Amino acid sequence: MSVVGASSLRNWPSFDTVLNAFAMWLLAFLWALPLLYAFWTAIHPSAYETRFVLSAPLTFENFQKAWDAAPFARYFLNTVMLVTMILICQFILGTLAAFAFARFKFPGRDILFALVLLQLLVMPDILIVENYKTIRALGLVDTIAAIGLPYIASGFGIFLLRQTFMSIPRELDEAARVEGSSFLGLLWRVYIPLAKPTYLAYGLVSVSHHWNNFLWPLIITNSVETRPVTVGLSVFSAIDAGLEWSVINAATLMTSGPLLIAFLLFQRQFVQSFMRAGIR
Amino acid sequence: MMHRREWIYGWLFLSPALLFLFTFTHYPAVKTVFSSFFSTPRGRRPEEFIGLENYRTLIQDEVFWQVLMNNFWFAVGTIPASIGIALAMALWVNSRLKGRTLSRVAFFAPTVLPLIAVANIWMFFYTPGFGLIDQLRSGLFGLPAGNILGNPDSVLAAMIVVAIWKEAGFFMIFYLAALQSIPPVLREAADVEGASSFYYFRKILFPLLMPTTLFVSINAIINSFRLVDHIFVMTDGGPDNASSLLLFYIYEVAFKYWQTGYAATLTVVMLVLLSILAIGQFFLFDRKVHYQ
């Protein structure tokens, strides 16, 4: 497994290093292959779906066809509204709850925190039957709000922010308190600014998670006005009637496009955010 | 006086989050158990208490047992493989090999894609006759077209491959974070002592990564219950339920056949399995793992 062996003393890499590099490249190529393949078919005419020649003409037509065949603009709008709503609510609710757990002493705190952590295991994702009944009782079936409601109080987010808040030295709040700040002022002026990297990390994880969510939106929506892109894509590709693969692939890439492009541009931040959010 | 104020503020700050948390996580979890003892309301007939009737159905339901076994094999096929690959990826990406940045992008990219899009992309490989795998089979080996997704023996394996592709890069991140927190002194000390790289990995690195491995395993187990989106695109649970998983079956029972009482019973099974996991996690984390 050596990756940096004693070889650095010599001019050429050791056999070990070469072997490791080769294995890494092979795996990376295998991992990239499905996406590259989808990309290839999406930007070439359907005649070149399985003919890999460099002279194949480029085309943008597949994207055009997909865009015209289904109301993707509306789906995108729905998804953007959905993830924005979830993110804002998660930030507000999570910040308040995390601050309470990190800085106040009150009876029942530890039990409540355990109940919050329980959500890491029992996620709303698997409680679809009862949550559907609740949403129906509230009269919110087929609304964008209904897709987001089960997720806006996130045990993961509360936990993450609490850990960050607890690492902030107490002396800072005393200083602010002396200056006459209320708790909300303290939160706004001291805690939130210091926790910015956590917010960024959590925000990226949350947005990509809810952009990609499928099962619950599928259950709770049934019209073009509410469907997010994932459900829209599944409806689109389920129409068997003569849709070419290249068009379906173009639609697939289109729906994941914003996230994928953001990832390629900011891949270092993405990876670091996921890392930060994963460290306990 | 001060303490009183902290109480009030504590509860005040907490209440909005708790309201939603209880409404959409704790209440439905408890309600599921209740519903499992009731029949499904039909038309004007309200639900009525039927005791263990749903559980009797459950035990006699062959599809349920098949789906449970599918889920078991899906977990067995996905978890060790994706964790092993994730560890290798992290070790490589964390090294000074050429091309590691590009490799990291390739490994991580599937994580940002929706599972539903991943399934669409992989359909391209699996489609009988036309898909890339069949093209290769006939092109290189002259084999007849096979139907990977239409064959009960191969369909689950095909799904496992997709799940590994999707998940390994995500787990890599956790290992990467752990590796970067290991002091380089350890490696230098091992070099001075003349320890082989494999020895270093086995005796030092791997034990130090144990908490990460456990954490990733638990995540992987939860995911093996939670991730079912690809089934909708690729097989719809078929052929003969050979690729159906527990959550997908719950969806079918609840929202295709509208048997919500029985669906609640199936959800109880899921909750029990997750509770066993939680208890196991508690003991494992307490004993087997040493923190730095």
Q: Choose one of A41, A65, A89: the last residue of a domain.
A: A65
Q: Residues with Cβ < 8 Å from B160, sequence gap 6 or more?
A: B74, B77, B78, B81
CB A132 within 8 A of CB A219: yes
Q: With a cut of 50, list the residues of chain B below it in pLDDT.
A: 1, 288-292
Confidence check: pLDDT of A227 > 90: yes
Do A41 and A90 have their domain in common?
no
Contact between B16 and A24 using a beta-carbon 8 Å cutoff: no
Number of domains in chain A: 2
Chain segment A123-153, per-residue pLDDT in tens: 899 999 999 999 999 999 999 999 999 999 9
Do A50 and A137 have their domain in common?
no
CB A38 within 8 A of CB B124: yes
Question: Which three-class secondary structure state does DSSP give residue B45?
Answer: strand
Contact between B264 and A38 using a beta-carbon 8 Å cutoff: no
Q: Which chain A residues have a beta carbon less than 8 Å from that of B94?
A: 3
Do A54 and A91 have their domain in common?
no
Q: Which amino acid is at A135?
A: I
Could you give the percent of chain A with pLDDT greater than 90?
42
Contact between A219 and B112 using a beta-carbon 8 Å cutoff: no
Among B13, B117, B278, beta carbon nearest to A256: B117
Q: Which residue in chain B has the smallest CA separation from A208?
A: B112
Do A60 and A91 have their domain in common?
no
Task: Identify the bridge partners of residue B42 per DSSP, sorted by sequence position.
Answer: B45
Do A127 and A231 have their domain in common?
yes
- Give the distance from residue B259's alpha carbon to the nearest chain A alpha carbon, in angstroms: 10
Q: Choose one of A36, A65, A94: the last residue of a domain.
A: A65
Give me the CATH number covering residue A156: 1.10.3720.10
Residue span of the structural domain in which A15 resides = 6-65
CA distance A151 to A87: 10
Tokens 């084999």, residue located: B143
User: Mean pLDDT across chain A, nearest whole number?
Assistant: 86
The reply to whether A1 falls in a domain is no
The reply to whether A219 falls in a domain is yes
Q: Which of B248, B255, B246, B236 is nearest to B40 (CA)?
A: B255
Directed axis angle between helix A245-265 and helix A61-69, to 10°? Answer: 100
- Of the two residues A274 and A128, the one the predictor is more confident about is A128
Do A40 and A112 have their domain in common?
no
Q: What is the pLDDT of residue A219?
A: 95
Among A158, A230, A264, beta carbon nearest to B105: A264
The reply to whether A25 falls in a domain is yes
Q: Residues with Cβ < 8 Å from A137, sequence gap 6 or more?
A: none
Q: What is the pLDDT of residue B1?
A: 44
Directed axis angle between helix B260-287 and helix B246-255, to 10°? Answer: 160
Do A115 and A202 have their domain in common?
yes
Q: Choose one of A65, A91, A107: the last residue of a domain.
A: A65
Chain segment A41-88, per-residue pLDDT in tens: 888 887 777 677 777 788 888 898 888 888 999 999 999 999 999 999
Question: Which three-class secondary structure state does DSSP give residue A22?
Answer: helix
Do A117 and A235 have their domain in common?
yes
The reply to whether A29 falls in a domain is yes
Do A13 and A93 have their domain in common?
no
Q: What is the pLDDT of residue A1?
A: 46
CB A247 within 8 A of CB A177: no
Tokens 């959905």, residue located: A82
Q: Which of A82, A42, A78, A73 is nearest to A60 (CA)?
A: A42
Confidence check: pLDDT of A10 > 70: no
Q: Which amino acid is at B7?
A: W
Which of B118, B124, B223 has the highest number of chain A CBs within 10 A, making it the mutation to test binding with A?
Answer: B124
Contact between A104 and B25 using a beta-carbon 8 Å cutoff: no
Q: Which of B227, B233, B255 is nearest to B111 (CA)?
A: B227
C-alpha dihedral, B147 to B148 to B150 to B152, nearest 10°: 130
Chain segment B88-105, per-residue pLDDT in tens: 999 999 988 888 889 999
Highest mean pLDDT among A92-101, A114-123, A197-206, A228-237: A92-101
Confidence check: pLDDT of A8 > 70: no
CB A212 within 8 A of CB A231: no
Contact between A267 and B113 using a beta-carbon 8 Å cutoff: no
Domains and CATH numbers, chain B: 58-113+162-287 (1.10.3720.10)
Half-sphere exposure of A262 (CA within 13 A, CB side): 17
Do A90 and A59 have their domain in common?
no
Q: Which of A203, A199, A206, A228 is nearest to A215 (CA)?
A: A228
**In chain B, what is the straight-line distance between the N-terminal and C-terminal CA atoms, in Å?**
40
Q: Which chain B residues have a beta carbon less than 8 Å from that of A5?
A: 197
Do A142 and A96 have their domain in common?
yes
Q: What is the pLDDT of residue B162?
A: 94
CA distance B16 to B10: 11
Across A198-221, average pLDDT: 91
Do A30 and A78 have their domain in common?
no
The reply to whether A54 falls in a domain is yes
- Of the two residues A106 and A85, the one the predictor is more confident about is A85
Q: What is the pLDDT of residue B292?
A: 34
Q: What is the pLDDT of residue B287?
A: 52
Stated pTM of the model:
0.89
